[in-house]
Amino acid sequence: MNHALVHVLCFGNPWHGDDGFGLHVLRRLRDERRLPPHVHAFDAGTAGLNAIPLFEGCTKAVLVDAVKTGAKIGQLHRLSITGCVPAVDQQGMHGSGVENLLAALPAAYPNSTMPELVLIGAEIGQIAPFTTVLSPAVAAAITQAVNLVTLECTSRDR
């Protein structure tokens, strides 16, 4: 089967507790070597707009991040992102989060077809600064998140 290229972009600050959820998922993906050759996984950290090049050349991008929607902490969300993402008026590169990154993508690649975008997010609560340890509920979501990411990368309907 000829797989198109999939990029897995894991976001977060590993030093700020649950905010680093995406990077914990990345570590597990790498440790377990579960990603097939057509999948490239990246530590997008807190790159903001600097993560734009990580979308280059892929037909699908799976974003892994911590989210806050008011749901139960540790709950996983799968969000298929279609159409233009509205930007947040932050006016600062260091304040540009994933929303602004996605909003900037069409401008960054005006003559290219946008990749399919899927977000796998774990609901988090209060962020504990200066710790690499996840809260128990968020840590418990890693295994399922890894399964979901793997599924996204291997599903035939990509």
Partner 1 sequence: MTGGLRKIRMGMEVNRVEGDMEIQVELECGVVTDAWCSGTMYRGYEQILTGRDPADALVITPRICGICSTSHLYAATSALEMAYATPIAPNGTRIRNLCLMAESLMSDARHTFLMFAPDLCNAAYADHPLYEQVCKLFAAPFRGRIARETVEHSNRILQVVICFGGQWPHSTYMMPGGVTCPLDAARLRECLGAVEFYRAWYERSILGCATERWLALRSVEDFEEWLEEDPSHRDSAVGVFARYGRSIGLHKTGGGTPHLLSMGCYYDPEGWQPPFRDRLCLLPSGFYDGEGKRIEPFCEGKISEDVSHAWYLDPGRPCHPWDSRTVPARRAGGPQYSYAKATRYDDRVVQLGPLADLVVGCDPLITSLFQAQGPNTWLRQFARFHRPVRVLESMRQTVQELSAHLGEPTFEPCDPKRDGDGCGLINAARGSLGHWVKIRDGTIENYQVITPTTWNGSPRDAAGRRGHWEESFIGLELKDLENPVELYHVVRSHDACLVCTVHFLRPDKVTTFHV
Under the binding rule (CB under 8 A), the answer on residue 104 touching partner 1 is: yes
Burial of 121 (0-12, 13-18, 19+ CB in 10 A): buried
Distance of alpha carbon 52 from alpha carbon 45, whole angstroms: 12
Under the binding rule (CB under 8 A), the answer on residue 76 touching partner 1 is: no
Q: How many residues bind partner 1 (CB under 8 A)?
A: 23
- Closest approach, Cβ 8 to partner 1, in A, equals 16
Sign of CA dihedral 30, 31, 34, 36: positive
Under the binding rule (CB under 8 A), the answer on residue 4 touching partner 1 is: no
Pick from 87, 39, 30, 94: nearest CA to 61: 39
Under the binding rule (CB under 8 A), the answer on residue 73 touching partner 1 is: no
Among the listed ranges 7-15, 61-69, 75-83, 104-112, the one in contact with partner 1 (CB under 8 A) is 104-112
Residues that bind partner 1 (CB under 8 A): 46-50, 52-53, 87-95, 100, 103-104, 107-110
